[in-house]
């Protein structure tokens, strides 16, 4: 029985993953090129997951505005990329199957969310949800500290944007950006390798997180550069009403799989 099958015994789980410490900048370019080739070779999966991500983003934005409190909109959009690694799980499986020459079916790709029948990927999904919720709480707390006397919160978008251009508003945006960047990087370090690893092998999510942190710790410059590139591309893709994410998310998802393959022996 193959180790990737749900019935594979836990006692026969693969050994603890070994993480490379020699990643180079060229590996990022190679991963992006491979990700682009995967997207072109099987666009139906990339467009599907990218479309789901776009619809989710539009839904979050609509919910923030419909609640007559646009102060939730900016942190919601800023924190939205936190859920991208979990959305990309199906893309990791598609890239894995293409490289292994296995059948590319919707059932197999969508079934990747179940992992190896041990709920480890779903456990990571819970962590993703908690991280996004925690960011929203922290962002609103920062808003309360700097803008409690501003009188906004129930006004319109124009009033809110004007308040953000005041000294207090700019200070809030500065502090919020720093705190958000630190939280986002910590979350990135936990998930960049762990989710592809859980798709590829039978491990518990704590082992996968440790491997992910090790990959970032042993290759700080390159992995930080990858985080910065992901952030820039995702936020640039957000600008045209989230529509750029239809391409950016699948390409980055496929590319992250190839970077994982290079990083984990």
Instruction: Give the global pTM.
Output: 0.83
59: which residues sit within 8 A by CB, 6+ positions away?
Answer: none
**Rounded alpha-carbon distances, angstroms, from residue 3 to 8, 15, 52, 104, 235:** 5, 12, 30, 19, 38
Q: pLDDT in tens for each of the 265 residues of the chain?
A: 344 444 444 445 567 889 999 999 999 999 999 999 999 999 999 999 999 888 887 877 677 666 555 666 667 777 777 778 888 999 999 999 999 999 999 999 998 888 887 888 888 888 888 888 888 888 888 887 877 665 555 555 556 667 667 777 788 888 888 988 898 899 999 999 999 999 999 999 999 999 999 999 999 999 999 999 998 998 888 787 778 889 999 999 999 999 999 999 7
Give me the phi and psi of 99, to 5 degrees please. Answer: -65, -35
CB 121 within 8 A of CB 113: yes
């Amino acid at each position: 029985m193959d180790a990737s099958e749900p019935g594979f015994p836990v006692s026969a789980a693969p050994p603890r993953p070994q993480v490379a410490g020699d990643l180079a900048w060229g590996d990022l370019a190679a991963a992006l090129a491979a990700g682009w080739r995967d997207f072109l070779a099987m666009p139906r999966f990339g467009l599907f997951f990218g479309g789901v991500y776009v619809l989710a983003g539009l839904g979050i934005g609509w919910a923030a505005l419909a609640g007559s409190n646009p102060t939730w909109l900016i942190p919601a959009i800023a924190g939205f990329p936190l859920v991208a690694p979990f959305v990309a799980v199906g893309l990791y499986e598609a890239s894995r199957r293409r490289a292994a020459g296995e059948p590319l079916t919707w059932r197999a790709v969508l079934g990747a969310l179940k992992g190896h029948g041990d709920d480890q990927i779903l456990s990571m999904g819970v962590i993703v949800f908690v991280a996004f919720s925690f960011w929203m709480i922290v962002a609103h707390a920062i808003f309360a500290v700097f803008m409690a006397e501003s009188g906004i919160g129930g006004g319109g978008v124009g009033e809110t944007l004007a308040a953000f251009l005041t000294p207090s508003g700019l200070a809030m945006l500065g502090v919020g950006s720093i705190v958000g960047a630190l939280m986002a990087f910590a979350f990135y370090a936990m998930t960049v390798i762990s989710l592809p690893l859980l798709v590829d092998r039978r491990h518990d999510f704590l082992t996968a997180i440790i491997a992910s942190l090790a990959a970032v710790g042993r290759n700080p410059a390159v992995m930080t550069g990858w985080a910065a590139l992901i952030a820039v591309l995702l936020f640039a893709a957000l600008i045209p009403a989230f529509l750029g994410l239809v391409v950016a998310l699948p390409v980055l998802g496929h590319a992250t799989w190839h970077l994982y393959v290079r990083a984990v022996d």
